[in-house]
Structure 1
């Protein structure tokens, strides 16, 4: 397993004081009643939309590419709702890291977890497909409260954030693996573990093949799904963490397992996986991370979409 960060006196250096202050402020804010957090998060989202002009344009472009039939007014409404989720996502990170299990349980519902138990009864590992919703941290915590697994992450460049996020995520995980550690993931899956995996972002040309994604015919899609599923023989189980409207909490939705995904080649698997991701996104499209440059990697000689 990955060697996890530990506290050291060097993290108390004055250059890290602003980060510690930010973490402390986040902890303090998420002690408020959830309806207050909800309103505050949406307010942060409205402010973010006014400030993050470049990300607004990226979100608009992604929606235009994925849903070319969507009317301009619908797209603008979707972007506005999406940035409300951006604001909530900041506070939900603190909720996922700092809330007690008891408080989490009060605001969450879970459906379809029998699918996970069915796979485990067969002694198979689970490649848990968690796409990049803005509720991502809440989803990992909710799932881990029912079944702790192996988290996959990118270590943060700021060592204080890396320490706090790892501590927070370990509240609902057995261990953590660097997202580049494919061998570690395969070993865990073969041992019957649950390994969280997000196959929906553009991870660059070296680790990608091109496959359709919504209306985009050639979207850079990770080849990691093909390698992990082929070498581990794990079942693939998607899940969706969805925020309910009007401060009514969250629902964790488990989808049906796939025991025999198409594994002919990386392109075939990526195209199939993208369809799974699309289905997940459409369960809460306004809560997806549209501000990521999903289509930045292009085939050689093809101009940028941004």
Structure 2
């Protein structure tokens, strides 16, 4: 079954993006109907984060989320097989000069990349611009693991580390000139996490961003992947480096990250990764949400 899915991805990647995007949206809506556990997770997250919306509004937002998620899933074949020329046309990078200036100055860089659904396509496109380091979570399905790894490493000399490789390897890579494509906004459990609010709800959040920035002397550059409507493709926005970061207060620095992320999510709420159980880990004594 996995190989049939990969074959379907390969066939679909030849289609114009305007056609492929519509197929992907329809696929996502089917997922909304039939993948009930993930639909429930998404609706729970939206209820917690957007209590001001009505139930009907949250369900409509969830449907839009599944539609754009389905699109990003089927368009992943573009990251795996599309030519460099096509990828450059499909994914526009804004602010690349900021990253290049930091690299030219010899400054280590952390690209703070939240879990928006376009991040894999953006990451593949960015890898065409040089050598990066990222943390790769091995997938249980070996077929999909192979192709996901391929998509992230097909251009230049990418370094994919596992979480078990530790902080030292990551800092060493950054100091050697590899920007870190860093995704620290999921629930990774209690280890190395503290509870800080995310949309007003205490959320277990790893403190890796301020710790890595301090250890490597790295600049933190916001990196936001947006899926554009229809056949318009994607855009990766590299923002201005954060000023006065990190501070001497790890909790305040971690809260700053979450508050910044809230602001970005509100600009495209349907594109955030709501099917993840973001509030799975609870403070002691609090009931579970899922």
Which of the residues 176, 183, 197 maps onto 1:212?
A: 197
The match for 1:243 is 227
The match for 1:46 is 29
Q: Distance in 1 between matches of 2:232 and 2:142?
A: 35
Which of the residues 47, 72, 77 maps onto 1:64?
A: 47
C-alpha RMSD of the superposition: 1.7
Partner SS, residue 160 of structure 2: strand
Aligned partners of 1:92 and 1:137 also within 8 Å: no
The match for 2:182 is 197
The match for 1:140 is 123
Structure 1 position 192, deviation (Å): 2.5
Q: Distance in 1 between matches of 2:131 and 2:265?
A: 24
Q: Distance in 2 between matches of 1:159 and 1:52?
A: 22
Q: Deviations over 1:112-143 (max 9, x none)?
A: 22221222232111111111111121110122
Q: Distance in 2 between matches of 1:142 and 1:58?
A: 30
Q: Distance in 1 between matches of 2:108 and 2:118?
A: 24
Which of the residues 262, 269, 274 maps onto 1:278?
A: 262
Q: Distance in 2 between matches of 1:241 and 1:301?
A: 36
Aligned partners of 2:197 and 2:203 also within 8 Å: yes
Structure 1 position 259, deviation (Å): 4.9
For normalisation by structure 1, the TM-score amounts to 0.89
Are residue 94 (structure 1) and residue 86 (structure 2) matched?
Answer: no
Partner SS, residue 225 of structure 1: helix
Q: Distance in 1 between matches of 2:179 and 2:31?
A: 35
Structure 1 position 94, deviation (Å): 1.6
The aligned runs of 1:159-238 (5 Å cut-off) are 159-172=142-155, 174-181=158-165, 182-216=167-201, 218-238=202-222
Q: Distance in 1 between matches of 2:96 and 2:163?
A: 25
When residues 72 and 300 of structure 1 are mapped into structure 2, their CA distance, relative to the original with a 3 A threshold, is same
Structure 1 position 91, deviation (Å): 1.1
For normalisation by structure 2, the TM-score amounts to 0.93
Unmatched segments (≥5 aa) in structure 2: none
Aligned partners of 1:239 and 1:280 also within 8 Å: no
Which of the residues 17, 35, 40 maps onto 2:18?
A: 35
Unmatched segments (≥5 aa) in structure 1: 1-17
Partner SS, residue 209 of structure 1: strand
Q: Deviations over 1:245-274 (max 9, x none)?
A: 122211111111125313324322211111
Partner SS, residue 291 of structure 1: coil
Structure 1 position 58, deviation (Å): 1.2
